[in-house]
Amino acid sequence: DAKTTQPPSMDCAEGRAANLPCNHSTISGNEYVYWYRQIHSQGPQYIIHGLKNNETNEMASLIITEDRKSSTLILPHATLRDTAVYYCIAAGANSKLTFGKGITLSVRP
């Protein structure tokens, strides 16, 4: 699976959009970009995934660059409950997930 690189941390104000970047410059054509998050002392939660096209669901939007070398997870209106570690993972369908260090998002009041 391709390696992903994320900044270690970022913060944003409550109610504002949180844009979480991820680099995956070695991603192969059949690998998806997955986003999970882990709130302290809980199991990870699936957020969204995509291959080439931008995706949106009730939790977030995923913007993937045309060359697929990077992506951005957007939480449109961050709340305090969105404070968590967010993991960006590149993996093929049906592949096991390899978690990196992720990015710690802190939402401030």
Partner 1 sequence: GAVVSQHPSWVICKSGTSVKIECRSLDFQATTMFWYRQFPKQSLMLMATSNEGSKATYEQGVEKDKFLINHASLTLSTLTVTSAHPEDSSFYICSARVGLGTYEQYFGPGTRLTVT
SS3 category, 4: coil
- Does position 9 bind partner 1 by CB under 8 A? no
* Cα–Cα distance, 30 to 34 (Å, whole number): 13
Whole-angstrom CA distances from 89 to 6, 33, 60, 107 are: 10, 6, 16, 22
Closer residue to partner 1, CB minimum distance, 45 or 54:
45
Tell me how far apart the terminal alpha carbons of the chain are, to the nearest angstrom. Answer: 37
CB of 8 within 8 A of CB of 102? Answer: no
Instruction: Select the residue interacting with partner 1 from 14, 49, 59, 74 (CB under 8 A).
Output: 49
Which span sits near partner 1 by CB under 8 A: 15-23, 58-66, 68-76, 90-98?
Answer: 90-98
Residue 67 has which token pair?
A: 């060359």
Q: How far is the CB of 27 from partner 1 (least distance, A)?
A: 15
Closer residue to partner 1, CB minimum distance, 14 or 38:
38
- Does position 55 bind partner 1 by CB under 8 A? no
- Where along the sequence are the contacts to partner 1 (CB under 8 A)? 32, 34, 36, 38, 41-46, 49, 87, 93-94, 96-102
